[in-house]
Amino acid sequence: MTDTKYSEKILELAERYNYSPFMIKQIMINFPDEHLVVINAFNRQPRETIRVNTLKTTPEKLKELLGKKGFRLKPTQFDYAFHVDSSQTRIGLGNTHEYLQGFYYIQSLASMVPVHLLYPEPGDNILDMCAAPGSKTTQIGQFLNQEGIIIAVDNKESRIKSLSSNVKRMGINNCIIFPYDSSQLRPFLKSTFIPDKILLDAPCTGSGIIRVDPTLKKSKNDLNINRMVRIQKKLLKTAIEILKPGGLLMYSTCSFHYQENEGVIADALTNNRNIEIIEPNEDFGHPGFDNINNKIFGIELLKTRRVYPNRDDLDAFFYCLLKKK
């Protein structure tokens, strides 16, 4: 396709689907063989999904309780999560007694994957670097089963209230919360807390959650991506420095832009010879890009994972599990 026809195609799709030309071009770059089905998949309504808080109840018991209220719970690949059909009830998922009691968290399946692949175990010391509003922090908490320590940090003090509220609602008793810039944690934590595992669910452009926030079709540009990449690289550098040797680090985003994903990881591998990518031991998602848009990242990046709105009926997420040698 010539440059002129390529530009015409971008403008035509942008007008037809109500996107900015910039976002259409990014979708065409990141999903070169399936951009049309991806655009259509981003228009679908996301499924309601909940994560069962196994600290307070069991999947079987919660299914019974919500079933009595008219909710129909359908299994997912995770035994502690359900897709929810709310069509037979007028009650909102966030308005039930069980929700207020902390029996479940409303959370997309793609959002549960980072903690699931990091797999915290009872007794682990875990650092959650960008924790608010607490979906993944509380998921870590149920994996730890009140054994070990979670330090949950977020640099936006306004979001700490929701983080604290969710941690309390879900009954997590071993979590320390404070507002701080996680990229500056090294001198603060180095001598007092050495994490066995770190979750860096990095701030990003959010381009992968268009189904949840349709304004993203038009609200982002190159400046947004570049700004996020600088923040992500800084956070990842700090995470690698403070991680325990032999420890695991999960880097994830809800962005489909390769610059925020494979590009950030490839840069970290180049600048840190003491880390390696660990391929997930579960059959989930699809390999990341080893090359894209004339950028060569190397075959190691095939060990990272992506999920797609069209192939998986999920938000577009990226996951990379790193190990410190």
Which residues carry out catalysis? Answer: 254
Q: Specify the DSSP element, H or E, that contains 23.
A: helix 21-30
Question: What are the distances in angstroms from CA 121 to CA 60, 126, 212?
Answer: 23, 10, 31
Bridge partners for 67 per DSSP: none
Q: HEC profile for 224-273?
A: HHHHHHHHHHHHHHHHHHHCCCCCEEEEEECCCCHHHCHHHHHHHHHHCC
Type of residue found at 111: S
DSSP structure class, residue 47: P
Judge whether 295 and 263 are in contact, CB under 8 Å. yes
Angstrom distance (rounded) from CA 59 to CA 127: 27
